[in-house]
């Protein structure tokens, strides 16, 4: 497998990586993988949505020597001076920091714009000023908007449906300009409903997977927006980590100035997801009896169906997802059950 070769090359010749949003769900998983590969990592976070305990869990998962390769900076990417400071002596930027959530952006578009566009422009400009070539950043499947085509192909997008989607589409535009004008090696990753360990189940804007798992384990009501036939390409975190590292190391000159679907390439409805999580939990937890879900109105700004064509990522980046939804769900359920046991 190509990813195995990349990991061996990194261990032989370590790089200096910057991860923004490092205390978040995706950022902390990237940190863990890179430290286990003996890389040097600088991390930036302001804890707007990330958590210190995510970093503590990474510390417990790696060796003392590996942890010493990590430098953490608490700061906000909307402060250009901080961006300029953390991008010194870095080989690769993995820009994950953002205010996520479509509903959050509809509730407060100015705050979302400030973090996701001003913050992005600060970071990519600072990277340019400090001579960093490789800039990999998190985009989103939300850029497909009202496009009805399935599966989603990178070159065919529709009208965006939320301020959050506007910010991610703008990131892609800026990244392409920085590639064309300054020769930067920019790669955008259009994430499709990422899930897995360390994804926060709490808060008003929590993602559906951890929220449902947490609610079922706590015997709380589970709500489904709409009729439950809305479908998504649920993508396990290990696939996303692989795509980031493959993008950070690719030598394919045709890879840059573009965005790539980062997904499993499947599609599942919310109704079927509910059934799968319910079954997985009830088979692992004694006397757990999950009630039927409660249906409510569709959520504003949501797209109806989402399913990625991942051929471009495979052919150009060498991406090869290791986990299906079902395989990722098994690992996620096990992790959340263990977390609950440790908390109790």
> Does residue 12 sit in helix, strand or coil?
helix
Q: Is 164 a catalytic residue?
A: yes
Q: Go through 302-311 and write b for each residue having 16 or more CB atoms within 10 A of its CB, e for each that does not.
A: bbebbbbbbe
Q: What is the CA radius of gyration of the chain?
A: 19
Residue tagged 């950043």 (tokens): 137
User: Which residue out of 144, 164, 260, 319 is catalytically annotated?
Assistant: 164
Using CA atoms, how far apart are residues 248 and 134, in angstroms rounded to an integer? Answer: 7
CA atoms within 13 A on the CB side of 52: 2
Give burial (CB, 10 Å; 0-12/13-18/19+) of 203: exposed
Closest CA to 321 of 210, 241, 206: 241
What is the rounded distance in angstroms from the CA atom of residue 97 to the CA atom of residue 45?
7
**What's CA 148's distance to the chain center, in Å?**
24
Q: Residue 124: CB partners within 8 Å, gap ≥ 6?
A: 95, 135, 137, 174, 175, 178, 184, 186
Residue 159's Cβ-count burial label (10 Å; 0-12, 13-18, 19+) is: exposed
27 vs 25: CA distance, rounded Å: 6
The pair of structure tokens assigned to 223 is 């709500």
Cβ-based neighbours of 246, under 8 Å, separated by 6 or more = 2, 3, 6, 317, 318, 319
Where in the sequence numbering do the catalytic residues fall? 164
């Amino acid at each position: 497998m190509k990813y195995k070769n990349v990991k061996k090359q990194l261990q032989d010749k370590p790089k200096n990586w910057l991860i923004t949003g490092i205390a978040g769900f995706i950022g902390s998983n990237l940190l863990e993988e890179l430290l286990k590969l003996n890389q040097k990592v600088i991390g930036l976070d302001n804890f707007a949505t990330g958590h210190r305990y995510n970093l503590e869990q990474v510390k417990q998962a790696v060796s003392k020597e590996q942890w010493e390769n990590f430098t953490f900076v608490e700061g906000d990417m909307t402060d250009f001076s901080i961006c300029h400071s953390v991008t010194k002596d870095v080989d690769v930027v993995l820009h994950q920091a953002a205010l996520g959530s479509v509903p959050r952006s509809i509730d407060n578009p100015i705050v979302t714009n400030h973090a996701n566009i001003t913050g992005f422009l600060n970071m990519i400009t600072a990277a340019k000023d400090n001579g960093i070539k490789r800039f990999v950043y998190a985009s989103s499947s939300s850029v497909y908007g009202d496009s009805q085509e399935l599966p989603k192909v990178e070159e065919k997008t529709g009208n965006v449906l939320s301020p959050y989607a506007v910010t991610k589409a703008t990131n892609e535009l800026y990244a392409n300009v920085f590639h064309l004008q300054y020769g930067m090696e920019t790669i955008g990753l259009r994430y499709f409903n990422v899930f897995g360990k360390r994804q926060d189940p709490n808060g008003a804007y929590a993602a559906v997977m951890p929220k449902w798992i947490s609610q079922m384990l706590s015997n709380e009501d589970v709500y489904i927006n709409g009729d439950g036939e809305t479908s998504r390409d649920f993508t396990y975190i290990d696939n996303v980590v692989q795509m980031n590292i493959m993008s950070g190391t690719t030598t394919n000159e045709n890879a840059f100035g573009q965005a790539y679907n980062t997904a499993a390439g499947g599609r599942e409805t919310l109704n079927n997801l509910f059934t799968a999580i319910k079954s997985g939990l009830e088979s692992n937890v004694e006397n757990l009896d999950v009630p039927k879900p409660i249906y409510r109105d569709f959520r504003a700004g949501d797209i109806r169906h989402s399913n990625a064509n991942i051929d471009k990522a495979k052919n150009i980046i060498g991406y090869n997802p290791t986990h299906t939804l079902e395989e990722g769900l098994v690992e996620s359920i096990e992790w959340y059950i263990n977390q609950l046991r440790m908390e109790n």
